[in-house]
Amino acid sequence: MNFHLRVWRQRDAKSRGKLVNYDVRDISPDTSFLEMLDILNESLVESGKEPVAFDSDCREGICGTCSLTVNGEAHGPDHPGAVCELYMRKFRDGARITIEPFRVGAFPIVKDLAIDRSALDRIVQAGGFISARAGSAPEANSMLVPKHDADIAMEAAACIGCGACAAACPNGSAMLFTAAKVSHLSFLPQGRPERERRVSKMVQVMDAQGFGNCTNTYECEAVCPAKISASFISKLNREYARAQFRQRLGE
Ligand code: SF4
Ligand code: FES
C-alpha cells in the first residue's frame, strides 16, 4: 500500500510548526501505524533528514504514551484503541493521512508530534493515591468489597492516562481522566477516608492546569481506548458536590 502523509513538524515548543508532505510506499496492510512512521523515519535518516519525533512505549495499548491525532481524530479511526493498535489496513490504498499531535492548551508541543502531558501527572499528584501505610498485601477475603463496587473500580482503573479525552473534547476538558482517577479509589474502602480531600484537590489542580469544563459532548468517551464511560463524570461531580457540602458543614 502507498500513502500520502501530511505530518506536523515543529522544531521545538517556541517555533512555528507546519504540515509537511511525505510519501510512503510498499507498506504491508498489517503494518501498525507507528511501524509505518518508523519506516518513514528510516528513510528520512537514510537521506540525511531529521526524523519525525513521536511518543510510544508499550505499543500494545496499555501505557498511554502514544498520542497522535490522525485525520482529525485522537488515536485515529479505529476506536476503541490507542493509535499504537491502529493498522494500515484500516486505510484505503493511496489515502492521504494527516498526522498531528494532540491539540490541547495544557499539553504543550515538545517537538513535532511529541507533547508534554505532565499536566495529567500533576492532577494525580494532587490526590490520586491513598496516604495510609497499607503494609503488605492483605489476605484477599479480609476486606470485603461488594462485587458491583469492585467491578466499577476496575472499570475506572483501566484509564491509561493517554489524554485523548482532553484532545477530543472541544473544551479541552480532562474531566473523564480525572473522573476515572477519582472514582477508582472512591469505590474502594481503602480510598474512602480521603475522598473529600482527594476530589477537591484534584479538581482544583485540573482547573489550574488550564483544562476546560465538560459540556456533555461525549467526544471523550468516543475516543477513549480504555472504554471509560462518561457516566464517571457524573460520579466526579457528585463526589465534588459532596466534598464541598461537607467542607461547608465543617466536617
Ligand atoms: S479516560 Fe480514556 S482517553 Fe482519557 S486519559 Fe484515560 S484512557 Fe485516555
Ligand atoms: S504505546 Fe503504549 S498505549 Fe500506545
Q: Which of 68, 224, 236 to mutate to test the pocket of ligand 1 (most atoms within 8 A of CB)?
A: 224
Q: What is the DSSP string of 150-162?
A: HHHHHHHHT----
The one-letter amino acid code at 117 reads R
pLDDT tens digits for range 93-134: 999 999 999 999 999 999 999 999 999 999 999 999 988 877
Q: Is 174 in the pocket of ligand 2 (CB under 6 A)?
A: no
57: Cβ–Cβ under 8 A, 6 or more apart, which residues?
63, 65, 66
DSSP state of 88: G
CA of 158 to the centre of ligand 1 (A): 9
Amino acid at 217: T
Q: How far apart are CA 212 and CA 102, in angstroms?
A: 15
Q: Find the ligand nearest to 66 CA.
A: 2
Cβ-contact 128, 96 below 8 angstroms:
no
Nearest to 192 by CA among 182, 179, 200, 204: 182
- DSSP states along 129-195: S--S---SPPPTTSS---HHHHHHHHHHHT-----HHHHHSTT-B-HHHHHHHHHHHHTSGGGGGGH
pLDDT value, residue 137: 78
pLDDT category at 48 given cuts 50, 70, 90 is: very high
Distance CA 120, CA 162 (A): 9
Contact 228 CB / ligand 1 (< 6 Å): yes
pTM for this prediction = 0.94
Query: Mean of the per-residue pLDDT values for the chain?
Result: 96
CB 51 within 8 A of CB 113: no
Taking the centre of ligand 1 as the mean of its atom positions, its distance from the CA of residue 43, in whole angstroms, is: 33
* Cis check: omega of the bond before 80, within 30 degrees of 0: yes
Q: How far is the CA of 55 from the centre of ligand 1 (A)?
A: 16
Determine the residue of 32, 33, 35, 58 to mutate for testing ligand 2's pocket, defined as the one with the most ligand atoms within 8 A of the Cβ atom: 58
| pLDDT band, residue 195 (cuts 50/70/90) | very high
Ligand 2 site, residue 186, Cβ cutoff 6 A = no
